[in-house]
Structure 1
Amino acid sequence: MQTEKKFKVLPIMISLLIAGFIGMFSETALNIALSDLMQVMHITPSTAQWLTTGYLLTLGILVPVSGLLLQWFTTRQLFITALSFSIVGTLIAALAPSFEFLMVARVVQAIGTGIMLPLMFNTILVIFPPEKRGGAMGIIGLVIMFAPAVGPTIAGLLIENLSWHWIFWLSLPFLILALVFGIAFMQNVSSITKPKIDLLSIALSTIGFGGIVFGFSSAGEGSGGWTSTKVILSLVIGVVGLLLFGWRQLSMKQPMINLRAFRYPMFSVGVVMIFISMMIILSSMLVLPLFLQGGFGKSAFYAGLLMLPGGIINGIMSPIMGRLFDKYGPKWLVFPGFLVAAASLWFFSGVTAASAAFLVIVLHTCLMIGISMVMMPAQTNGLNQLPREYYPDGTAIMNTLQQVAGAIGTALAVSVMSAGQEHYAEAHPGGNPLDALTSGVSNAFMFGMIIAVIGFVIALFIKRVPVNHQK
């Protein structure tokens, strides 16, 4: 298309990258500050967990609606709105005197991120031709993966020397810079079709995704676990809501999210592999710091430092994988990627408090390399198969399921770890609590390995999508 040549690709990318990096940084940096917040605000772990759960819940509710937003509002309008929410949320968090204020701030931040993530991927699909999308997605991947890598380390430094408020004060000028840059350079790239807004679809989507994320997150908090009425009821309501939502979308002429995108087999395979990858990466990012701080007795800053090399290499690998994908396709990246991830998780299951810190760094780095070999190729290959009019739906589906995968992965990992600890304590009454923790963490990593093996089996079905089909 002729119009595609008129896009100022570099300024658009810079605007998106700054906004995406700070959004991901503030999302993950706060995780390392949770133990500090529990002491300062005198709250329990299950209450503190809501700072993450509330964020995920907002994303789980908002991201499905993003496909509709992308067709109702211009790129500039959505970009400025997303950053405005992020700036207001970050400012409230930086000034927050209590847990309640911080909770509100996290929800406002999540609204900004929930609009920005689908907008970022949709814009790349429009401004880059299919044969160059791998490299572009790789650069986005570098930013999205690099932020969680440096987040815990920088947060650890800020907590030790200043206070947790500075996590947000540090983010604020960068968000303002991204907004100014975006106002100056962001272009409208997508066409506005203004499909009919179906309030029932929005309600069913909110109940469905909200119920699933809330149910799994509540189970992972450790308050009553999977058998609590709150968890069972949330999951049942969520599943029923999702089934009704799916039925409603397939029976409408202009659905909120066009689930017919799943008719494209490589898109479906890509979605499942992204789901599995997010479960692995987010569950390991929760379990590993817990073990490093609880088992190794290390500070938040030291735990962040041990995880830094793997995160940085994951970020660096992303654009490399993008170029390799453009050249060779997904198959020879995704196969070995899942194998490397499975092997790393299997070795992790044998790590104890006596293990060398160097071993943890190497295994974490290998795990990150394996995941980077899967994520970007699976995502780009899947989206490449969709016709242009399905781009908003495809990005909304992928981004929604990533949030759901995060909630499910972390909840299952915490449950498996807690069950392992309890089983060890019952089998060894009066035993060392550290050994019980090690046993629980080992079980959690074995669970991750099983998921990675399932991913490998699904990867057998992946095929390269031809890129000369633009519609």
Structure 2
Amino acid sequence: MILENAQPSKQYKVMPIMISLLTAGFIGMFSETALNIALTDLMKELHITPATVQWLTTGYLLVLGILVPVSGLLLQWFTTRQLFIVSLAFSIIGTLIAALAPSFPFLLAARIVQALGTGLLLPLMFNTILVIFPPHKRGAAMGTIGLVIMFAPAIGPTFSGLVLEHLNWHWIFWISLPFLVLALLFGIAYMQNVSDITKPKIDVLSIILSTIGFGGIVFGFSNAGEGSDGWSSPTVIGSLTVGAIALILFSIRQLTMKQPMMNLRAFRYPMFVLGVVIVFICMMVILSTMLLLPMYLQSGLMLTAFTSGLILLPGGILNGFMSPVTGRLFDKYGPKWLVIPGFVITATALSFFSNINGASTALLIVALHTCLMIGISMIMMPAQTNGLNQLPPEFYPDGTAIMNTLQQMAGAIGTAVAVSIMAAGQKNYMSTVKNPNDPSAYSHALIAGVQHAFIFAMIVAVIGLISAFFMKRVKVNHS
């Protein structure tokens, strides 16, 4: 009965739908990472501190943390076309505001509007893939999405560095804008409605608890990584406490409702749970590494933003091209024999990263980053697809919402812990320096802090490796 939804050749024009989603997803991910390498320029031009400029990332994550959990409900209330058009409209408006932004408050507002677009698009993209592709082709489809999602962050920093050398940061958004408009026009022309509209009852209390819970956790962890007081800050402790209590109440309410906003009964499926855990670990490693390496390259090795972007480019591009390959291998052999070697490669690369120093060559960093990205490409998509495959079709909106929500939380947690460990390592190093005012002491201290943070990332990867041994291939038989 429900397998009818998985027969795209009879019902859906798969290629136009994929082009619409992938174009929009590419530009969304591109503008996100392209801005990261411009933060130093923004601090100088807008006369703001590092703690203030970080709100461009924190605010973005916060909106995603609040909106993505509600996406499962939205997918059942509005058509695919409606959600796609609204998400692109938010992305276009946010990008236009950012391109014109004369001050930090305008730029922050633009980032929040952009996040509304991304928060709607990501769950829509994964849910649509689950509906229009049969299970035996989902690996290749997810691999194609992986190519786009990983290729955009790969070229984002390099492109941004090039733009900043010749133009200003506004042009990062001006260049993105026409592509978003084209994606919207293409989607209006070709996007089809693929999901069933059931219009479940809207539970206001669930939305409030979800907003406070996920928002509080993301806000708390983000501030722990940015604030001067770190984990002892009353704001951090208060946010995490309130967020945790709200999440517990939210979970209890979802499990006792006949029509929950986010159906947590998806956690009854063991391979879905394992997929969520592995994707969570993977996102912690990816986002903490994406934060640590540019800081090491620019402040430790004293390289320019453009050069740093070039060093990270080969690994990111190879990761993107590996995604379709791992997708096809997943369809043929299942997840286990991709995920286990992937974690071995990832943990090994991170162990070498924990020993980098001021004398490390750019070639070594390129090689290690490339190995890390190959490992990540072998883990992320197979674990995610295998987990979602175990869910019955009526759980697809909830499964994608859970996966995407926890990815945002993993990003906040991973970066916060990495920054805290790095700061502690810096502080310990500076306490042993005879002359703290020596200019070289700061770069050596930062490298020591980065080494400590990579040890944390390696431990997380080893935990993921142990988890991977429990993975089994899901045989899909939804009837």
1:271-350 matches, cutoff 5 A:
271-350=276-355
Does 2:478 align with 1:470? Answer: yes
- 1:369 aligned to 355, 368, 374, which one? 374
Question: 2-side partners of 1:379 and 1:352: how far apart?
Answer: 35
1:305-359 CA distances to partner (integer Å, 9 max, x unpaired)?
1000000000000000000000000000000111111100100111112111000
Question: 1-side partners of 2:382 and 2:250: how far apart?
Answer: 29
1:55-78 CA distances to partner (integer Å, 9 max, x unpaired)?
000000000000000000000000
Question: 2-side partners of 1:42 and 1:370: how far apart?
Answer: 40
1:391-431 CA distances to partner (integer Å, 9 max, x unpaired)?
00000000000011001101110000000000111123425
Does 2:201 align with 1:192? Answer: no
SS of equivalent to 1:152: helix
CA apart distance, 1:435: 1.7
- 1:459 aligned to 443, 468, 471, which one? 468
| Structure 2 counterpart of 1:82, one-letter code | S
Report what 1:135 is aligned to.
140
Q: CA RMSD in A?
A: 0.8
| Structure 1 counterpart of 2:442, one-letter code | P
Question: 2-side partners of 1:152 and 1:264: how far apart?
Answer: 38
CA apart distance, 1:141: 0.5
1:116-131 matches, cutoff 5 A:
116-131=121-136
Question: 2-side partners of 1:135 and 1:177: how far apart?
Answer: 25
Does 2:38 align with 1:38? Answer: no
| Structure 2 counterpart of 1:438, one-letter code | I
CA apart distance, 1:2: 4.7
1:155-194 matches, cutoff 5 A:
155-194=160-199
Given the two structures, how large is their TM-score scaled by the length of structure 1? 0.99
| Structure 2 counterpart of 1:451, one-letter code | V
Structure 2 runs not aligned, ≥5 long = none
Aligned residues: 470
SS of equivalent to 2:38: helix
Bigger drift between 54-63 and 433-442 goes to 433-442
Question: 2-side partners of 1:236 and 1:429: how far apart?
Answer: 41
1:372-399 CA distances to partner (integer Å, 9 max, x unpaired)?
1100000000000000000000000000
1:28-85 CA distances to partner (integer Å, 9 max, x unpaired)?
1110000000000000000000000000000000000000000000000000000000
CA apart distance, 1:436: 1.1
Structure 1 runs not aligned, ≥5 long = none
| Structure 1 counterpart of 2:427, one-letter code | E
Question: 2-side partners of 1:384 and 1:100: how far apart?
Answer: 43
1:231-263 CA distances to partner (integer Å, 9 max, x unpaired)?
000000010011011001001000000000000
Instruction: Name segments (4+ residues, structure 1) moved above 4 Å.
Output: none
Question: 2-side partners of 1:452 and 1:285: how far apart?
Answer: 15
Question: 1-side partners of 2:445 and 2:222: how far apart?
Answer: 23
Report what 2:91 is aligned to.
86
CA apart distance, 1:159: 0.9
Question: 2-side partners of 1:207 and 1:190: how far apart?
Answer: 29
SS of equivalent to 1:464: coil
1:239-258 matches, cutoff 5 A:
239-258=244-263
- 1:355 aligned to 349, 357, 360, which one? 360
| Structure 2 counterpart of 1:157, one-letter code | L
Given the two structures, how large is their TM-score scaled by the length of structure 2? 0.97
Question: 1-side partners of 2:420 and 2:325: how far apart?
Answer: 36
CA apart distance, 1:222: 3.4
SS of equivalent to 1:97: coil
CA contact (8 A) 1:222 1:415 kept: no
CA apart distance, 1:434: 2.0
1:269-317 CA distances to partner (integer Å, 9 max, x unpaired)?
0000000000000000000000100011011111111000000000000
Question: 2-side partners of 1:89 and 1:154: how far apart?
Answer: 20
1:3-82 matches, cutoff 5 A:
4=7, 5-82=10-87
